[in-house]
Amino acid sequence: MNAIILSASLGVLMMFCSFLVKNKNTFRHIASVGLLVLLIANIADTYGYTMFSINTYGMLSFNRFGMLFNSIAIASTLIYVLLTGREIEKTGSYVAEYFTLIFFVLCGIALLSSYSNLLTLFLGIEIMSIPLYILTGSDKRNMKSNEAALKYFLMGAFSTGLMLMGIALTYGGTGTFNLEAAPRTFLYIYKGVASFLEILGLLFLLVSMAFKVSAAPFHFWTPDVYDGAPSVFTSFMATVVKAAGFIAFIKLCAVRMHETGGAVDWNMIFAILIVSTLLVGNITAVFQQSVKRMLAYSSIAQAGFMLLALISLNDIAYEGILLYSAAYSLATIGIFAVLVKMKDYTFEGYNGLSKTQPALAAANTIFLLSLSGIPLTAGFFAKYYMLAAVVKTGSYLWLVIVAVLFAAVSVYYYFRLIQSMYFKEGTPETEEITPSFKYGIIALAAVIIILGIFPSLITYWLYF
Amino acid sequence: MIALLLILIPLISGLVTFFTKSERDAKSWSLFASILVLMVAFAGVSGYFDSQLFFDTAWVPSLGARFSIGLDGMGKMLCLLNAIAFSVVFASAYQNHYKKPAEFYALMLLMQTGLMGVFLSTDALLFYFFWELALIPAYFLCSSWGGEKRIAVTFKFFIYTFIGSLLMLVGILYVYFKTPGHSFALESFYQAKLSISEENFAFWLFFIAFAIKMPIFPFHTWQPDAYEQAPTSVTMILSGVMVKMGLFAVIRWLFPVFPHAALNYSHVIIILCVTGMLYASFIAIRQDDIKRLIAYSSIAHIGLMCAAFFTSEQVGMQGVMIQMFNHGINVIGLWIVADLIENQLGTRKLSELGGLATKAPTLAILLVIMALANIALPLTNSFVGEFMMFNGLFNYNVWVAAVAGISIILAAVYTLNMIQKVLYGITSLATDDAGDITTGPKIMMIVLVIVVIVLGVYPQPMLQLTNDTVQTALNKFHL
């Protein structure tokens, strides 16, 4: 509860700052402090120190899993603001508003991690998405940014429509908006068979959620939007926001789809989604010339891996999705932080970076190794948990083998960037790189390695 | 404690080496560290510290993975080989100059850490960890300091082995969920309850990873290119130590875990190995580049070792054990000679060499001894191993032994052909003003030659050392 209310009020506070505080450079410091407060409040909430006791009439339910995800999301955002705050300032002239929108997105995320009613799911998705449409178009003199924002908005509106339709149909089928404890007698022909309306509604919901996490074949908006949006905001969208989509999705699956599992083989639908997502993401990423676009497709490919949790849905999968969110978000935030410092976004633009900026190149290498799932980085254990969860179910072993083969494909495009930085000659042009940025990015790389050796540093908090 | 030191010394010294400023510091520091590791390895082999060989502590408790390492007979032998290899490589590279020396030596030491970890781990997840960790420094070493086509070639090598190891990861997970009490420990893997069909399936997940690493025909295509393009110091490690990872893994993680599947498929694998031996030997005859020649000869030798192990004949398996060590020593010796020739004359093409015997007599003697060891002449260390392996193959099937035996003749053909073209005949443009080798490499080569001959005459300690590993593997069969 703390996270929802505080993030919304901090957003409002930032809005007031935009005309109360004259010095533009202070905004990001205020935002950082705000995020820190938010993080502490959320952790306090996890251990029962809630500041607000509000009766939500079963619309929200808080558990350790959602709280821990909130902490991961807020911490990632804090790191993101610390590393790329300067770049956010450079995007346009409404600096405080950008931070405001980021706080609102966090509010949506906090709703998504705790919804227990389809209406709060809808609210969360919308509160999270609408600020993103604005952030995408924040570079308003750039045609590509405008195009991306419009595309994102139209596609997003369409998926919202589907989602509402789905919610309405499931309501028709079950007679309740509640996620759990749907009265299974209402409109049921006989026990064990879900009604047609509910199944159709769930299918609609599945499509709209697949759209939000950019699973193929609902991914078409992703490359254009990620490419067109200002790089700093792409970083945010591709990491924290995407992970939040998964948290919402996994909850929906665990309850509603699990209950109707007798009527529809959801796992097979997920398997098809996973294979097509891995295929589209990995194969298309291989052919990209721009690092930013490659990262867009890589985010689709990584989504394919995260979707594996929907099939397994066991304790390993829950631990795994948290670890994956953290590992993937941190690594991608790091890569984007380096990316926004580059003048040329193509692979050639990175040629020879290890000579001019050895620290940046080394940290970037660690991020890329993490994304490809090499041991000693957080990414390895993230992938490991996902695979282990599916193997534990005892079926779908073929899916695991397909997934690891695509993980091997992903090495191709991640290592291409390493090759550019280390083994090719060139003089890459970068923006001015401050020592504090350098130390920040090295610290982030260190965190990824520590998580890669002791993954229980995150999963531990799920139980204590 | 011994086991922990074997990992910690190269790890810490490797990290320190990253921050050394001058080339001299990096070189002497890494040489010092590798000699320290060698001393610890000797202490481990000596038998005086047998109560100290194991180390075990919690690592990821929720997964049931432990940081547990330890040395058995085969582990001792391979750790010793690893320690010797790196000391020799650092000593022989002492006069070479590498750009960015700090990074080079640091990555070398990290590679040693990874290799040590592979030989020491008694926990499957830890084993996978180190298996990959040995690969990453190798990737950077070959891509940064290698030959002209290094980037593409090394990438092929990397992708090949990475696919293999990912399949192995799936295999590890698969077996893990079948173990009593879900644990990654070696002992529980040995007790995993797998039906025959499950064994057959999981066997291939593991075997492909190991076959790529060894490499076994038809998974070998990365190897000659990688050996040729890598800097020679790294090639020494790749062929002397890293390919042993594959064999080692077969012996420790494949055979005892899937004994039925191993028996089931032994025919297929032996036929693949023998095919690869002949194939590689024929190609080796046509090679003009010394490095490629040694690379192909290495494929043939590894093929023989793998085939002999899959016969599941005790004598053959014993032969494999000592041959793993001996092949490592011999091939490193050959690479050093190749490196000396290339550094001095600027070429390693057989067609451009000749007449070195008169110009560099010491080098010639050393090369001849190493080459003879490579074709397993009696009195050299390989003779014992190859004899035992062929004995095993013969007991298994006469025809297989006969066909594999052809590769011995072919080995003599290409090796003697190399000696002839390098040492005899008239001097060429490149060898006209060649001189003999200096004292440093001379001493090192003489040490290797002594090891070759001593182990050729008196292989008993080696056999005793690895007896327990062979017995473990065999016991699984006769259950």
How far is it, in rounded angstroms, from Cα A230 to Cα A215?
22
pLDDT computed for residue A285 by the predictor: 92
pLDDT computed for residue B338 by the predictor: 85
pLDDT computed for residue A35 by the predictor: 93
Short-list A239, A246, A6, A233, CA closest to A112: A246
CB contact under 8 A, B158 and A391: no
Handedness of CA A234, A235, A240, A246 (dihedral sign): positive
Which tens digit of pLDDT belongs to each residue from A427-439?
888 888 888 899 9
Quote the DSSP letter at residue B349.
B
Q: Which chain B residue lies closest to A355 (C-alpha atoms)?
A: B100
Report yes or no: B126 and B59 within 8 Å, Cβ to Cβ: yes
Give the residue with greater pLDDT, B184 vs B93: B184
The residues, ordered by sequence, that sit 6+ positions from A439 with a Cβ below 8 Å of its Cβ are none
Confidence of residue A273 (pLDDT cuts 50, 70, 90): very high
The beta-carbon neighbor of B136 closest among A374, A384, A454 is: A374
pLDDT above 90 for B453? no
Which tens digit of pLDDT belongs to each residue from B203-213?
999 999 999 98
Which tens digit of pLDDT belongs to each residue from A5-27?
999 999 999 998 888 888 878 88
Task: Specify the DSSP element, H or E, that contains B224.
Answer: helix B222-229
Amino acid identity of residue B367, one-letter, is L
Residue whose token pair is 């290409």: B414
**Count of alpha carbons within 13 angstroms of residue A58, beta-carbon side:** 9
In Å, how far from its chain's centre is CA B428?
A: 34
Report yes or no: A64 and A113 within 8 Å, Cβ to Cβ: no
How far is it, in rounded angstroms, from Cα A284 to Cα B9?
44
DSSP for A54-98?
---TTSB---HHHHHHHHHHHHHHHHHHHHHHHHHHHH-S-HHHH
pLDDT computed for residue A194 by the predictor: 60
Residues of A in contact with B151 (CB under 8 A): 419, 423-424
Which tens digit of pLDDT belongs to each residue from B245-293?
888 898 888 888 888 888 888 889 999 999 999 999 999 988 888 888 8
Enter the ipTM. Answer: 0.90
Residues of A in contact with B164 (CB under 8 A): none
Distances, alpha carbon B66 to alpha carbons A323, A454, B62, B187, B195, in Å? 19, 11, 10, 13, 26
Distances, alpha carbon B318 to alpha carbons A238, A284, B177, B210, B305, in Å? 55, 50, 32, 20, 10
What count of other Cβ atoms lies within 10 Å of the Cβ of residue A248? Answer: 22
Quote the DSSP letter at residue B422.
H
Give the residue with greater pLDDT, A181 vs A221: A221
Give the residue with greater pLDDT, B128 vs B474: B128
Shortest CA gap B163–chain A (Å): 6
How far is it, in rounded angstroms, from Cα B79 to Cα B41?
6
What count of other Cβ atoms lies within 10 Å of the Cβ of residue B416? Answer: 14
Short-list A80, A7, A13, A73, CA closest to A41: A7
Instruction: Give chain B's length.
Output: 479
**Count of alpha carbons within 13 angstroms of residue A404, beta-carbon side:** 27
DSSP for B285-304?
HT--BHHHHHHHHHHHHHHH
Residues of B in contact with A387 (CB under 8 A): 169-170, 173
Short-list A202, A178, A204, A181, CA closest to A257: A202
pLDDT above 80 for A372? yes
How far is it, in rounded angstroms, from Cα B408 to Cα B411?
5
Collapse the DSSP code of B104 into the 3-class scheme (helix H, G, I; strand E, B; otherwise coil) and give the result.
helix
CB contact under 8 A, B60 and A400: no
Distances, alpha carbon B115 to alpha carbons A148, A153, A156, A461, B108, in Å? 49, 53, 51, 34, 11
* Residue A456 contacts B, CB cutoff 8 Å: yes
Report yes or no: B325 and B81 within 8 Å, Cβ to Cβ: yes
Residues of B in contact with A404 (CB under 8 A): 166-167, 169-170
Percentage above 70 pLDDT, chain B? 99
Short-list B108, B132, B142, CA closest to B222: B142
| Mean pLDDT to the nearest integer, A261-268 | 80
Chain B residues touching chain A at CB-CB below 8 Å = 59-63, 128-129, 132-133, 136, 140, 143-144, 150-151, 155, 158-159, 162-163, 166-167, 169-170, 173-174, 176-177
pLDDT computed for residue B477 by the predictor: 66
Cα–Cα–Cα angle for B458, B243, B44, rounded to 5 degrees: 50
Confidence of residue A189 (pLDDT cuts 50, 70, 90): very low
pLDDT computed for residue A181 by the predictor: 56
In Å, how far from its chain's centre is CA A209?
A: 13
Distances, alpha carbon B463 to alpha carbons A33, B84, B471, in Å? 67, 19, 12
Amino acid identity of residue B413, one-letter, is V
CB contact under 8 A, B173 and A394: no
Which tens digit of pLDDT belongs to each residue from A76-103?
999 999 998 888 888 888 888 899 999 9
Q: In the predicted model, what is the mean pLDDT of chain A?
A: 88
pLDDT above 80 for B82? yes
How far is it, in rounded angstroms, from Cα A124 to Cα A247?
12
In Å, how far from its chain's centre is CA B384?
A: 18
Per the structure block, which two tokens stand in for B366? 């050393």
pLDDT computed for residue A462 by the predictor: 79
Which tens digit of pLDDT belongs to each residue from A290-343?
999 999 999 999 999 999 999 888 888 998 999 999 999 999 999 999 999 888
The beta-carbon neighbor of A375 closest among B128, B167, B174 is: B128
Confidence of residue A445 (pLDDT cuts 50, 70, 90): very high
How far is it, in rounded angstroms, from Cα B206 to Cα B203?
5
Distances, alpha carbon B67 to alpha carbons A400, B56, B126, in Å? 26, 6, 7
Amino acid identity of residue B404, one-letter, is A
The residues, ordered by sequence, that sit 6+ positions from B466 with a Cβ below 8 Å of its Cβ are B73, B74, B77, B318, B321, B322
* Residue A404 contacts B, CB cutoff 8 Å: yes
Instruction: Give chain A's length.
Output: 464
Which tens digit of pLDDT belongs to each residue from B349-370?
888 887 777 778 888 888 888 8
pLDDT above 70 for B67? yes
Amino acid identity of residue A57, one-letter, is Y
pLDDT computed for residue B479 by the predictor: 52
Rounded to 5 degrees, φ, ψ at A343 are -85, -35
Helices (H), B93-149: 101-120, 124-145
Which residues, in sequence order, are bridge partners of residue A346?
A290
The beta-carbon neighbor of B132 closest among A374, A388, A407 is: A374
Question: Which region, left, alpha or beta, applies to residue A429 given φ > 0 means left and ψ of -120 to 50 means alpha?
Answer: beta
